[in-house]
Amino acid sequence: MEEGEDESGARREKLIRKKLAEMQKMQEAESQLRSVLRAAMEPAAYERLMNVRLSASDLYMQVARVIVTLYSNKQLGAKVSDEQLVGLLEKLTEKKGGSLEIRRK
């Protein structure tokens, strides 16, 4: 019995280590994404996007992909402003048919 328990404990431990490694990779990828977004966006726009991330993670990922693509292809003339971000958010939510309340500061 002890041998079977040791084997199952070893499997469990291996699975836990694998999950931890996956989570660590995801955290590193998110950190890199935020770094690129911070470089591509004005502070107010970045802050708004982080708020969107908390409330609508799918929308956040869509917007982040668009901004990172434009930034990496050097298609952004300047940093993304808060107004530009609001416009992009409105366009993306129109396509889905959903609604997103944007409060002006």
Residue 105 reports pLDDT greater than 90 = no
Cα(70)–Cα(37) distance, rounded to whole angstroms?
11
Domain count, the chain: 1
Instruction: Tell me, yes or no, whether 72 lies in a domain.
Output: yes
Instruction: Tell me, yes or no, whether 90 lies in a domain.
Output: yes
**Greater confidence, 92 or 102?**
92
**Which of 103, 104, 42 shows the shortest CA–CA distance to 71?**
42
* Rounded mean pLDDT, 39-58: 95
CATH number of the domain to which 64 belongs: 1.10.8.140
Range scoring the smallest mean pLDDT among 2-16, 17-31, 78-92: 2-16
Instruction: Tell me, yes or no, whether 103 lies in a domain.
Output: no
Instruction: Tell me, yes or no, whether 60 lies in a domain.
Output: yes
Percentage of residues of the chain with pLDDT beyond 70: 85
Residue 58 sits in which domain range? 2-96
Cα(63)–Cα(100) distance, rounded to whole angstroms?
14
pLDDT score, position 32:
94
- Per residue in 67-78, pLDDT (tens digit) is 999 999 999 889
Instruction: Tell me, yes or no, whether 78 lies in a domain.
Output: yes
- Average pLDDT over the chain reads 88
Residue 3 reports pLDDT greater than 70 = no
Instruction: Tell me, yes or no, whether 105 lies in a domain.
Output: no
Instruction: Tell me, yes or no, whether 33 lies in a domain.
Output: yes
